[in-house]
Structure 1
Amino acid sequence: MRTGSVVQADWVKWRCQYGCDMYGARLTCPPHSPGPEETRKLLAGYKYGLLLRAGECREIRRLAPLLEREVFLRGYHKAFALAAGPCTLCSSCPKSCRHPETARPAMEACGIDVFATARRNGMHLEVLRDREAEQDAYGLVLIE
């Protein structure tokens, strides 16, 4: 996909703050994660990305850094991954991350409208009606 198809909106981080009980609890989540303006600048430095979809956030958090590393080793030195949902590598975050090689902020934590981005790239997704419903999780590996 082209990174120009990534949809950003300032309201997305507000949904984290007023909708997620992990807000502020992880270094990869708001208010610690990059803001929308920083993310706009980051995306401007890339032409392409791999939009990932899996059945669980945990799977995206596992796959995204692995794909980032693989793409990097193939010569794309700017490769960078964005994951899904709050990081769960540790039970709680210390002052600095214990896993900077694999912990990545979620797309939504950085102000990316995951619904609009997925739809713009031909993927179908719907709002979950309850927490027990089967979900799809999305991640993004930026490539240049």
Structure 2
Amino acid sequence: MGSDTESRMTYRQQLARLTREAKRLGATSAAIILSEDIQVKDNLAALCNGDYTCPNYGLAASCPPYVKGPVEFRKWQAESKYSVTVKIEVPASAMFSDERKEVMQLLHQIVAAVEQKAVEAGFVKSKAFAGGSCKELFCEDQEACCVVAENKTCRHIEVARPSMSGFGIDVTRLMQSCGWSAPKAEQSNVSDQNATSWVAGLILLA
């Protein structure tokens, strides 16, 4: 086995290790995709602060207007060859109950942990993205985000990650790139015990 082949094998093994780590931590599925296949759309990012203003707008440093959006993400994307995607499948009813917060917290914890593993593996510029507002998920009992209000270090810097929405990432297309179905939770499905939904995260490797 030549040195080039050994290097490629090691690289593939590193990627496989990251997907295994995601599933070990609680992800239902994890996959490696080409970073160039991630679709980023300005109009999706605009939903955070355009005609429809997200109720979490401006509440945390990881959401608009404090993130640089699609323009910055495309720069990171250009420096990345592969990304790790993760999905947590849950009963549809969970997304309309108190369980939703726990599910979203778990998503942040998984992508943050995989990001750290990626850094340790040599992908030192890796960046993780999740969903939902970190203010709502981790600092709901705090009057304000300390990063925004006081320019202090995030209280939950080890687990809180920015939402994909603020960067305009097309999450449905992301799921399709992985070959995953993407049924979304609907209020009408809450009573259907077989109905499922999902939340997703992304780790851009660089």
Query: Which category of TM-score, normalised to the shorter sequence, fits these structures?
Result: 0.7 to 0.9
| CA offsets 1:9-33 (integer angstroms, 9 cap, x no match) | 0111222232532122121111112
Q: Which runs of 5+ in 2 are unaligned?
A: 1-32, 90-102, 191-195
* TM-score normalised according to structure 2 size: 0.63
Aligned length: 144
Find out whether 1:61 has 2:108 as its counterpart: yes
Higher relative helix content? 2
| CA offsets 1:56-91 (integer angstroms, 9 cap, x no match) | 322211111111111111222122211111112222
Q: Which runs of 5+ in 1 are unaligned?
A: none
Q: Which amino acid is the alignment partner of residue 86 of structure 1?
A: S
Rg (Cα) greater in structure: 2
In structure 2, C-alpha distance between the alignment counterparts of 1:126 and 1:89, rounded to whole Å: 27
* TM-score normalised according to structure 1 size: 0.88
Give the fraction of aligned pairs with identical amino acids, expressed as a percent. 29
C-alpha contact 1:65 1:102 (8 A) present in aligned 2: yes
C-alpha contact 1:57 1:138 (8 A) present in aligned 2: no
Pick 1 or 2: higher relative contact order, CA cutoff 8 A, min separation 6: 1
In structure 2, C-alpha distance between the alignment counterparts of 1:126 and 1:23, rounded to whole Å: 26
Matches within 5 A, 1:102-117: 102-117=159-174
One of 139, 143, 147 as aligned partner of 1:90: 139
Runs of 4+ in 1 over 6 A off after TM superposition: none
More displaced, 134-143 or 63-72? 134-143
